[in-house]
Amino acid sequence: MSSAPLPATQERVDRLEASIDRFVANADLQFSRLYESQLRTQAQLRELKDEMLEFKNEMGQFKEEMLEFKIEMGQFKDEMAAFKDEMAEFKDEMAEFKDEMAEFKDEMGGFKDEMQCFKAESVAERREMNRKWGDLANKLGSMVEDLVYPSLPRVLRETLGREFDSIQARVRLRLPDGRVREFDAYAIASDLAAVNSTKATLRSADVDHMIDEIAAFREFLPERARLPVVGILATLAVNDSVLTYAERLGFLVLAVGDQVMEVKNRPGFEPKRW
């Protein structure tokens, strides 16, 4: 026969059961919290794992980009090295070209000097040849035909600015009274005439005599007497004092030069119309 528990024991058992119930309830609560925390942690770990995977992928891509950049930099370095070599070669070529140009310049300078010397020699030789030709023409008595007459059209055109209808050389004229006069050369236009007197050596007296030549031209060609006349003196070489005197009287003076016979008057000289 069993006996009922004692009140004190029953109370302790009740308290123990209550404590167990509270413990179990608290354990469930803590377990629930722990479980939720674990779920959150797992979620965070998964998120972290995804982020790490993404970071790994990004790092892999970055690594590939860096590798590609490294390759490009290597190519660029090679290109720069090639460019540097090309520039060095270009620099050498330019230096060589500069030397060649300097040499060419020196050669051209020498050539220019040679040409100037040749030109001077040619001018001197041509003048000497013309002088010798003049001497020969004078010795043969044909200075007018060989030197003066061929030059008159050009001289008249250059000095008087016009063409003449007729140019005659070594003309021998006779008057009714029997007097005879020979003119070295003369040119006739409708409103102007030119009379030439040619001397191997021109003297001041020959300049004075030119006035008589013009008067004789009018006398022996009375049909041309109304025309103004330009006096032209021609010689092999003219003295400066004689040239000055002839210009003072208004005469053109010709002498042997670069163009066989050339005008020796000063530039701009205007001959007198007699």
- The larger pLDDT score, comparing residue 264 to residue 139, is at 264
Mean pLDDT across 4-9: 72
- The larger pLDDT score, comparing residue 81 to residue 6, is at 81
Label residue 194 by pLDDT band (50, 70, 90). Answer: very high
Neighbour-count burial for 235-247, b at 16+ CB within 10 Å, e otherwise: bbebeeebbebbb
Is it true that domain 143-263 has CATH number 3.30.9.10? no
Mean pLDDT across 251-263: 86
The string of pLDDT tens digits covering residues 107-147 is 888 888 888 877 777 777 777 766 666 565 455 346 777 78
- The larger pLDDT score, comparing residue 8 to residue 91, is at 91
pTM score of the predicted model? 0.50
Q: Is the pLDDT of residue 59 over 90?
A: no
Tell me what the pLDDT averaged over the chain comes to. Answer: 86
Domain boundaries, the chain: 1-140, 143-263
For residues 200 and 176, give the distance between their C-alpha atoms in angstroms, rounded to a whole number.
31
For every residue of the chain, which 3-state class applies, written as one string?
CCCCCCHHHHHHHHHHHHHHHHHHHHHHHHHHHHHHHHHHHHHHHHHHHHHHHHHHHHHHHHHHHHHHHHHHHHHHHHHHHHHHHHHHHHHHHHHHHHHHHHHHHHHHHHHHHHHHHHHHHHHHHHHHHHHHHHHHHHHCCCHHHHHHHHHHHHHHHHHHCCCCCEEEEEEEEECCCCCEEEEEEEEECCCCEEEEEECCCCCHHHHHHHHHHHHHHHHHCHHHCCCCEEEEEECCCCCHHHHHHHHHHCCEEEEEECCEEEECCCCCCCCCCC
Given this model, what pLDDT does residue 193 score?
96
The string of pLDDT tens digits covering residues 61-109 is 888 888 888 888 888 888 888 888 888 888 888 888 888 888 888 888 8
The string of pLDDT tens digits covering residues 228-255 is 999 999 998 899 999 999 999 999 999 9
For residues 156 and 159, give the distance between their C-alpha atoms in angstroms, rounded to a whole number.
5
Do 235 and 138 contact (CB within 8 A), yes or no? no
Given this model, what pLDDT does residue 154 score?
93
Q: Is the pLDDT of residue 214 over 90?
A: yes
